[in-house]
Amino acid sequence: MPKIVDHNQRREELAQAAWRVIKQGGIEAATVRKVAEEAGMSLGSLRHYFETQSELIAFSMDLVSNRVTKRIRQTPLTGNIRTDCIMLAAQVLPLDEERRIEGEVWLAMTAKSLADPSLRILFLEVHDSLLRLFEQIVCRCWGQPYNRPLSPVAAAEARALHALIDGLAVHLLFELEGLSPETAMALVERQLDRIIGMGDQ
Amino acid sequence: MPKIVDHNQRREELAQAAWRVIKQGGIEAATVRKVAEEAGMSLGSLRHYFETQSELIAFSMDLVSNRVTKRIRQTPLTGNIRTDCIMLAAQVLPLDEERRIEGEVWLAMTAKSLADPSLRILFLEVHDSLLRLFEQIVCRCWGQPYNRPLSPVAAAEARALHALIDGLAVHLLFELEGLSPETAMALVERQLDRIIGMGDQ
DNA sequence: TTTTTTATAATACAACTGTGCTAATATGCG
DNA sequence: CGCATATTAGCACAGTTGTATTATAAAAAA
């Protein structure tokens, strides 16, 4: 046998090379040749880890959601509801370079998911679990147990929070009108305070 | 001379053919050949109206924003602040088939804009004027004159409304968790009512 | 050492790409 | 009518694409 290689690690390396190519030239620049070159390996070598281009793209998209999920799971909770909710929401926004490239790739994948049924499935799964997260946040803000189906009001607040954060994420990527990470976070906190305020009544 | 043809109308026909191709197969499917075929004309004919592919794509993106702008301008105002604001916001959301294909194309263009400087300029222009619209809506809700720069609170509310609606637009395109146009509009109205409520204090 | 299997690389090929160029077509105008 | 020209159509070409195939290198296992 030859040098034994961690297949999954190699696939992640290639996927991150794909990220960089996508960041540079958009999803249509993510050809197998360009990704292989960016990863510093030959075309045949890439094909040893991904049989088709679709596999590579799907894995690259999957890696984004895995990274975000992992970060959410590892977020240290303080017990302070407001602080914890803010910290969780922050994991989805492109606030630093690490989360920025994830966001750019995710946006590219989102557009591709519209016309690609198999990517669409993955996209919907991710957004469903994201909505669950926001539902939990709303329930926690109101000191309610998290039982689905939620009350109409809680469901509405979760959906609105979800949409607000998704919208802010895109606006941050484009630095719309000089929108800064701090301003974006302030808007999220503002909305969270409104939600918390509703629970007191 | 041959048959005299309205150049701009032909370009719009081709751009709408591009829309359909993009809806079907994503932005990378919008090759000059596929668009020409979809429009029912030859490749050489298309090239008579668009010298390059980039021109065709940029025009197609431009057409989306023109359509939305036109609809916003033509929205009949009732004088009732709440109703008018709702009607305006509704022009940006993919609530029916006409606005849906615009939304799908816009999402595809958004992703492409991230890596394409010239498209990015157009994208930023559109979003700036969209933000202006939401700023006007907030001011109108509070019975304030519209003078920039706005107060920090008004600016924050406009930004949040903008992000909420953009996020909802994407979620509607994917029918996230069965999100319906009615539910989406209810969320917008909810947010508007909150804004109006803030002005009373 | 020899064998065997994995990893890497190189090449080939058919299909598709954008764009340049040329010929044909048809129609408004003198 | 005939002519000029906007329009349409077609082909060519070089470059890129995804994928298949084959060859080489290297190292674990015998």
User: Considering CB atoms only, which of A24, A114, A186 is closest to B26?
Assistant: A114
Asked if B167 and A163 come within 8 Å (Cβ–Cβ), the reply is yes
**A-contacting residues of B 122-161, CB under 8 Å?**
123-124, 127-128, 131, 156, 159-160
Distance CA A149, CA A23 (A): 39
**Tens-digit pLDDT profile for residues A110-128:** 999 999 999 999 999 999 9
Q: Is residue B187 within 8 Å of residue B149, measured between CB atoms?
A: no
Distance CA A152, CA A158 (A): 10
Mean local confidence (pLDDT), A132-150: 93
Rg (CA), chain A: 19
pLDDT on residue A42: 96
pLDDT on residue B65: 97
| Candidate ranges B44-48, B77-81, B196-200; pick with highest mean pLDDT | B44-48
Mean local confidence (pLDDT), B4-14: 91
Phi, psi of B180 (to 5 degrees): -100, 160
Is the minimum distance from the CB of A2 to strand C below 7 Å? yes
Pick from B20, B169, B160, B165: which is nearest to B94 by CA? B169
pLDDT on residue B79: 86
Mean local confidence (pLDDT), A137-148: 92
Question: Is the predicted pLDDT of residue B3 greater than 80, yes or no?
Answer: no
Question: Is the predicted pLDDT of residue B69 greater than 60, yes or no?
Answer: yes
C-alpha distance across the termini of chain B, in Å: 69
Summary mean pLDDT of chain B: 95
Mean local confidence (pLDDT), A165-178: 97
Q: Which region, left, alpha or beta, applies to residue A15 given φ > 0 means left and ψ of -120 to 50 means alpha? A: alpha
Tell me how crowded residue A153 is: count the other CB atoms within 10 A of its CB: 12
Q: Which CATH number fits the domain A7-200, given the four candidates 1.10.3480.10, 2.30.36.70, 1.10.357.10, 3.40.50.720?
A: 1.10.357.10
- From chain B, the residues in CB contact with A159 under 8 A are 171, 179, 183, 187
pLDDT on residue A201: 58
Band of pLDDT at residue B4, cut at 50, 70 and 90:
confident
Band of pLDDT at residue B123, cut at 50, 70 and 90:
very high
Contact partners, residue B125, CB within 8 Å, separation at least 6: none
Band of pLDDT at residue B27, cut at 50, 70 and 90:
very high
Question: Is the predicted pLDDT of residue B48 greater than 70, yes or no?
Answer: yes
Nearest CA in chain B to A163: B167
pLDDT on residue B201: 58
Distance CA A168, CA B17 (A): 31
**Tens-digit pLDDT profile for residues A53-79:** 999 999 999 999 999 999 999 999 898
Distance CA B134, CA B3 (A): 45
Is the minimum distance from the CB of A149 to strand C below 7 Å? no
**Tens-digit pLDDT profile for residues A149-169:** 999 999 999 999 999 999 999
The secondary element (H helix, E strand) that includes residue A138 is helix A117-141
Q: Is residue B168 within 8 Å of residue B187, measured between CB atoms?
A: yes
Distance CA A158, CA B21 (A): 35
Is A165's Cβ below 8 Å from some Cβ in B? yes
**Tens-digit pLDDT profile for residues B74-103:** 999 898 889 998 999 899 999 999 999 999
Is the minimum distance from the CB of B8 to strand D below 7 Å? no
